[in-house]
Structure 1
Amino acid sequence: MESSRASSDLEKKLSLQLEDSVAPARLRRTLADIDPEAEARLRRKIDLRILPLASLLYLWCFIRANIGNARIAGLERDLNLKGYDYNILLTAFYVAYIVFELPCQMLTKWWGPGKTLPLFGFLFGLFSFVMAFVHTFGAAIAVRFLLGITESAVFPGISFYLSRYYRKDELGFRLACFLVCTAAAGAVGGLLASGILKINSIGWLTEWRMIFFIEGIISMGVGAFCWFFMSDRPSACKWLTPEERELAEFRLVAEQPGQSEAIDALHSKAVRAGIFNTNTIVIACVFLLNNITVQGVGFFLPTIVRSIYPQESTIHQQLRTVPPYVCGAFMTLATGYLSWKTRRRGLYLLLSVPPLVAGFSLYVATLNPHLRYTAAFLVALGCFNFGALCTAWSAANVTTDTARAASIGTTVFAGNCGGLIATWTFLPKDGPRYLPGNAFNLANSVAMFFLVGGLLLWQKRENKAKAAGRDDHRIEGKTESEVADLGQKHPDFRYAP
């Protein structure tokens, strides 16, 4: 009897091993195996532990836009900036960001986001602190360049970090929860700057130097705090039970056709697959155009407000930059939540364009201060949610951890190319109307509409062809590792709109 049972068990094990060696992962992993209630409890637990850390870290890094507040608090005067010097100062940041962003993203994939993100967050705070002590234009450029290197790891790194904990349709809202800090940082930066400026001095530090001094110290503290609480992946989270850790990784694998592990080793084929595909390239172009708008708002809204309300005090001008950011934060959360519940991302990008077109049309058409301030709200309503939705859209349309790192990195890389362009769209000679910059952003908004709409139509066509069996032959005679490398060519893969 025992011999018969042992023989039967052995046969079962051999059968399973044979199945593992020849069958694609789609035959062994299914989302139907997941208990919805257990998954909901796990998701809430992850939300409470992961999102606050990511949001806090990003909030104090994105306050890089405090240079816009520092500008109207005397930075140009004290550093003797002339002509395009301010634009060159902004350019130094983005040159470093663009050059180091993809290498830092690959470092994050290799070393782990739980280590790289707190480290780079701390360094960002350190260099912000150092910015308070610069006295020359050259020193300011050097510090801004170092800030660009350190922040190049943060945004794409956090997006990649969250993609290790959340499923495709969950990711957009969670990205919105931390990327709302893009808008919130502008609001907090304006409020904090106005509060700091009420202090006469800290020793010999006055005005704009106090902004960098205080915000730098806070950023360093946040980075040091996150070092002790961020884990690289669910299986390393001690605050999850063994069953929760297993579920956390299984649910990610189960929705990726052909995959048998949540986190693969870094390899060049998956990196290329994440970068060089139609979905990533189009979304990267959209994010590039959008970031011209977002970074322009961050750097030049205080200047625009000053041109609209020149008679008001600096503190009141700082406070007037806050309400548009609050509207942008609300819209980012609203569209992120809707993308989760409706399982769509591109639709909400399309719906975000009309407010952008209306806002920049007002900027182009009039110098009326009340209408231009209204335009600031319209632009904020339309531009800030692209960060969450574009990043989530690119992450949802690749299949491996390495490909996600590369796809997210490429999208953010393109976005920061847009940030670099933004530093030269609002030039001093164009004030107070800034017609070239506003007209350029109006054209960008229209271009984004057509790019997003075109990609949605392309995805629909591709999914229809896959459903008709176009790619079925690709898994014939393949080993499991070969099937895993198919990525978007896997017959069960479907593009997420």
Structure 2
Amino acid sequence: MPLGTAQDLGHLPQLGLKMSRVDRQKENTDVSYVENSVRGAVHEASEHGRAATDSHGRPLVSFDAAAEARLRRKIDLYIVPSVAVIYLFCFIDRANIGNARLAGFEQDLNLKGYDYNQVLSIFYISYILFEIPANIACKYIGPGWFLPALTLGFGIITVCFAYVETIESACGVRFLLGFFEAGMLPGIAYYMSRWYRRNELTFRLSLYIVMASLAGAFGGLLASAILTLDKFGNLRRWRMIFAIEGIITIILALVAFFTLTDRPETARWLTQEEKELAISRIKSERVGATEVLDKLSIQKAIRGVWNPVTLANSMVFLLGNVTVQGLAFFLPTIVRTIYPKNSIVSNQLHTVPPYIVGGFFILLVNFLSWKMARRNLFLMISAFPIIAGYTIFLATTNSKARYAATFLIASGAFNSGALCNAQVSANVISDSARSAAIGTTVMFGNIGGLIASWSFLPFDGPNYHTGNGLNLATSSLMVIITVTLAFWAKGSNTRRSKRDVDAELSGLSPLAIENLDWKHPAFRWRL
């Protein structure tokens, strides 16, 4: 049975009873006893080799809500800012080619026809190929070292892009950029799953994924500011964008080597009791788990990949990323078609407001998801403004209506990043399965990015019926998949509730029980 907390006895004086000194001494003794009991139970639950749940997945220890809130705020302060800032420049360094396009990138490299799309798509070849291996490496090496190293790598590559002279060199550098950026989105999502409960994770993921939206706004402002310079060293025009933004990224990477703490056990800014609480509260949500950070297991990793919720959310993230990456690469181009007489700087600035609106909705939607402990519902809801936006693009050529449509699209498009990865994380048990599941989800998402790089083609301008129609179709399919997943999970949970847990686990070793992961009979899908 779960232990009570000291708060259970802490309200006795409020009952209005008149207590003697002996009574008060006894009360204080009882409170102290309960506090020590809880502290001891938390300590035991945090130890290696001990499970924090019974065979039916019920927690063996309860936690003081106030202590958890204090710990959560501390983790928020030390973890979220570092990963948010490096992901901001991860997305800027990937998407700044869209800003460079307006500043003469195509003309200087003499790109014709589909050359620009080719340069975009080569990034996703390496990005997709190295997605799962990168997240496995992140677990093996440790995110505290791995993520800053990746940041340093793509910062250097971004600076190199300032010196490309041909389409071949541009493709080569973009391929290397994809190699270094492949591990960032899944790596940060996996890293944060080491620190937060399932329901807490959704909103915390949004605090760094919102940077994808803000990168569009900040990237446009930064590019506009850079383009007001005459030169940077011997570099001019679009080349200055890559050089300056790459240097900023390198500086942030060097700082991140000192600010990213690998896991609770190594956090110097946590007390020993806080470390134990951080470990035991995560473990208490993982049925049959005796370790929060298990040794890398291929069997568990395969469980993570072939998890039905992983596969469904991977497809949703693929469809959502067609829109997200399409906005990143082509919003400046779309704005130029809406306002063809505006200056380059004016068009750059027009890309900023939709991203700010998108960032607001990322935080709002994922905050509500956290408080309501629902993810799939908000994934479905987020598809509707995207559907409305692309319907407007297809229905009218009115410039004001089309510009308004970009706000609708941005308000729903960026929500899938946090929701999909949080939902996948919530529906596996082991750390090995989680790293593989998140890597799979993001890999499929980047297949969507590859599709996006060919969604707005030169022959289709200026109204881009093919690209707009494709995005309308993908957002509509997101609704169908999320609704289907909800009905399937409900039916599966009903069938699981009828299983005899003790009989199915009888005779199995603790290791065999751990290896079941989501196939554990007491496991339930959480959407």
- Bin for the TM-score computed over the shorter chain: over 0.9
CA distance in 1, matches of 2:504, 2:392: 53
Q: Is the 8 A contact 1:397 1:488 kept in 2?
A: yes
Counterpart in the other structure of 1:455: 485
CA distance in 1, matches of 2:173, 2:185: 19
Cα distance change, pair 496–320 in 1 and its aligned pair in 2 (3 A): same
- Is 1:36 the counterpart of 2:65? The answer is yes
Cα distance change, pair 246–429 in 1 and its aligned pair in 2 (3 A): same
Q: Is the 8 A contact 2:366 2:415 kept in 1?
A: yes
Describe how 1:114-263 pairs up with structure 2 within 5 A: 114-263=144-293
Q: Is the 8 A contact 1:30 1:254 kept in 2?
A: yes
Aligned match of 1:430 in 453, 456, 460? 460
1:486 to partner: Cα distance: 1.4
Per-residue displacement from partner, 1:121-146 (whole Å, max 9, x unpaired)?
01111100111111111111111000
1:23 to partner: Cα distance: 8.9
Describe how 1:10-409 pairs up with structure 2 within 5 A: 25-26=53-54, 30=59, 32-63=61-92, 64-409=94-439
CA distance in 1, matches of 2:433, 2:403: 42
Moved more, 268-277 or 31-40: 31-40
CA distance in 2, matches of 1:476, 1:341: 37
Q: Which amino acid letter does the alignment assign opposite residue 154 of structure 2?
A: F
1:228 to partner: Cα distance: 1.1
Per-residue displacement from partner, 1:425-461 (whole Å, max 9, x unpaired)?
1001101111011101101111100101111111111
Q: Is the 8 A contact 1:327 1:380 kept in 2?
A: yes
Q: Is the 8 A contact 1:162 1:175 kept in 2?
A: yes
CA distance in 2, matches of 1:444, 1:471: 40
Gaps of 5+ in 2: 1-43
Q: Is the 8 A contact 2:161 2:170 kept in 1?
A: yes
1:151 to partner: Cα distance: 0.2
CA distance in 2, matches of 1:52, 1:82: 41
CA distance in 2, matches of 1:237, 1:474: 39
1:468 to partner: Cα distance: 2.3
1:222 to partner: Cα distance: 0.6
Counterpart in the other structure of 1:4: none
Moved more, 210-219 or 33-42: 33-42
CA distance in 2, matches of 1:420, 1:94: 5
CA distance in 2, matches of 1:158, 1:331: 21
Q: Is the 8 A contact 2:150 2:180 kept in 1?
A: yes
CA distance in 2, matches of 1:343, 1:474: 29
Counterpart in the other structure of 1:479: 509
CA distance in 1, matches of 2:51, 2:113: 65
CA distance in 2, matches of 1:470, 1:273: 22
| SS at 2:259 equivalent | coil
CA distance in 1, matches of 2:86, 2:342: 33
CA distance in 2, matches of 1:22, 1:178: 33
1:21 to partner: Cα distance: 9.7
CA distance in 2, matches of 1:194, 1:126: 22
Q: Which amino acid letter does the alignment assign opposite residue 280 of structure 1?
A: T
| SS at 1:288 equivalent | helix
Q: Is the 8 A contact 1:345 1:393 kept in 2?
A: yes
Q: Is the 8 A contact 2:54 2:60 kept in 1?
A: no
Q: Is the 8 A contact 2:52 2:60 kept in 1?
A: no
1:345 to partner: Cα distance: 0.2
Q: Which amino acid letter does the alignment assign opposite residue 49 of structure 1?
A: Y
Cα distance change, pair 349–21 in 1 and its aligned pair in 2 (3 A): closer
Counterpart in the other structure of 2:22: none
Residue identity over aligned pairs, in percent, reads 49
1:471 to partner: Cα distance: 5.2
CA distance in 2, matches of 1:358, 1:411: 26
Cα distance change, pair 165–31 in 1 and its aligned pair in 2 (3 A): farther
Q: Which amino acid letter does the alignment assign opposite residue 52 of structure 1?
A: P
Per-residue displacement from partner, 1:47-79 (whole Å, max 9, x unpaired)?
000000010110011101111000011100111
Per-residue displacement from partner, 1:251-287 (whole Å, max 9, x unpaired)?
1111110101110000110010000121110100010
Counterpart in the other structure of 1:7: none
1:25 to partner: Cα distance: 4.3
1:31 to partner: Cα distance: 6.4
1:46 to partner: Cα distance: 0.1
| SS at 2:295 equivalent | coil
Q: Is the 8 A contact 1:22 1:480 kept in 2?
A: no
Q: Which amino acid letter does the alignment assign opposite residue 187 of structure 1?
A: A
Cα distance change, pair 349–23 in 1 and its aligned pair in 2 (3 A): closer
Q: Which amino acid letter does the alignment assign opposite residue 35 of structure 1?
A: D
CA distance in 2, matches of 1:322, 1:474: 56
C-alpha RMSD over aligned residues: 1.6
CA distance in 2, matches of 1:48, 1:24: 27
CA distance in 1, matches of 2:334, 2:300: 44
| SS at 1:26 equivalent | coil
CA distance in 1, matches of 2:259, 2:366: 26
CA distance in 1, matches of 2:339, 2:50: 70
Per-residue displacement from partner, 1:103-130 (whole Å, max 9, x unpaired)?
1111101111111100000111110011
Moved more, 462-471 or 359-368: 462-471
| SS at 2:523 equivalent | coil
Q: Is the 8 A contact 2:213 2:414 kept in 1?
A: yes
Per-residue displacement from partner, 1:177-218 (whole Å, max 9, x unpaired)?
000001000000000011111111123311111100110000
Q: Is the 8 A contact 1:73 1:207 kept in 2?
A: yes
| SS at 2:296 equivalent | coil
1:80 to partner: Cα distance: 0.7
Q: Is the 8 A contact 1:474 1:489 kept in 2?
A: no
CA distance in 2, matches of 1:95, 1:438: 24
